[in-house]
């Protein structure tokens, strides 16, 4: 009996997160947004040659909100697939009457030049009311060639 009740409680708790995402209609606080984003973006698991990425956007205009969400997700995909890192290091040693002083400097820039993301698919989309505007969440799927 005890095992059956543990299994039942576990099933009820696992369904709470799914129903939270499905039933959510408005964002009322920053904590609410953070919780929803964490649950929503948990779907973004990368499989062998498929990248799933979530993006979000907010605007007073619904179409702009959706465009921002798609651009956000595409930018994250482009950062994974087409970025380059430019790194420079400097080690400076100076000798004076008291001994040797050494300094170290590392600069790294992540660059993304003319990225093209073609062939993505919107897996799911959720639109919610937030204050006096719209919050759109999208989940994109991109197949690597």
| Domain membership flag for residue 65 | yes
CATH number at residue 81: 3.10.28
Helical H segments across the chain, by residue range: 2-23, 30-41, 62-82
pLDDT tens-digit map of 6-47: 444 454 444 444 555 556 678 777 787 788 777 877 765 667
Give me the pLDDT at residue 13, please: 45
Evaluate whether 109 touches 98 at the Cβ level (below 8 Å): no
- On the question of pLDDT at 97 being above 80, the answer is yes
Domains contained in the chain, number: 1
What is the residue range of 68's domain? 24-85+114-143
As a whole number, mean pLDDT of residues 95-111 equals: 83
């Amino acid at each position: 009996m005890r095992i059956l009740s543990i299994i039942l409680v576990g099933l009820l708790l696992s369904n709470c997160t799914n129903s939270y995402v499905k039933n959510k209609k408005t964002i009322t606080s920053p904590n609410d947004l953070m919780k929803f984003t964490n649950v929503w973006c948990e779907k973004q698991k990368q499989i062998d040659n498929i990248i799933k990425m979530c993006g979000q956007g907010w605007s007073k205009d619904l179409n702009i909100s959706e465009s921002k969400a798609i651009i956000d997700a595409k930018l994250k995909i482009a950062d994974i697939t087409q970025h380059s890192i430019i790194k420079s290091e400097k080690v400076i040693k100076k000798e004076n009457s008291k001994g040797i002083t050494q300094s170290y400097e590392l600069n790294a820039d992540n660059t993304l030049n003319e990225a093209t993301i073609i062939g993505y698919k919107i897996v799911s989309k959720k639109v919610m009311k937030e204050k006096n505007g719209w919050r759109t969440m999208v989940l994109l799927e991109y197949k690597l060639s």
